[in-house]
Amino acid sequence: AQSVTQLGSHVSVSEGALVLLRCNYSSSVPPYLFWYVQYPNQGLQLLLKYTTGATLVKGINGFEAEFKKSETSFHLTKPSAHMSDAAEYFCAAQGGSEKLVFGKGTKLTVNP
């Protein structure tokens, strides 16, 4: 069965520091991959997605992610964290079935 693992339920960075949120997936077929962000008391918003083509995907708010098939990873990065990036981040994968499977989420805290 398809699964998504997000390493680290909590990540804390200083403002201006690199953000790295890890996501690994298991899928028997090449997956489609997504990162969603959830700000407090809000719904999920798509940050970026990988479907086909270039493996480095750029999203909104300066985030990007790289699909690495050999490592079954889709880690999310941002060169310089901003206070407004504090939120819950979800990695999701769609494999051979229509279901989108979500990871358990990573809460990002940005310290001034």
Partner 1 sequence: DTAVSQTPKYLVTQMGNDKSIKCEQNLGHDTMYWYKQDSKKFLKIMFSYNNKELIINETVPNRFSPKSPDKAHLNLHINSLELGDSAVYFCASSPNSPSRLPYNEQFFGPGTRLTVL
Q: In the complex with partner 1, which residue's Cβ is closer, 55 or 97?
A: 97
By the criterion CB under 8 A, which residues form the site for partner 1?
A: 32, 34, 36, 38, 41-46, 49, 51, 88, 90, 94, 97-100, 102, 104-105, 107
Cα–Cα nearest to 102, from 110, 92, 111, 112: 92
Q: Are 4 and 93 in contact (CB under 8 A)?
A: yes
We find the least distance from the C-beta atom of residue 37 to partner 1, in angstroms, to be 11
We find the least distance from the C-beta atom of residue 74 to partner 1, in angstroms, to be 14
We find the least distance from the C-beta atom of residue 26 to partner 1, in angstroms, to be 18
48/89 Cα distance (integer angstroms): 11
Q: In the complex with partner 1, which residue's Cβ is closer, 47 or 110?
A: 47
We find the least distance from the C-beta atom of residue 8 to partner 1, in angstroms, to be 13
Q: In the complex with partner 1, which residue's Cβ is closer, 34 or 63?
A: 34
Q: In the complex with partner 1, which residue's Cβ is closer, 19 or 87?
A: 87
36/95 Cα distance (integer angstroms): 17
Contacts for 65-71: CB closer than 8 Å, 24+ residues apart = 65/23, 65/33, 65/35, 67/33, 69/30, 71/24
Q: Are 105 and 7 in contact (CB under 8 A)?
A: no
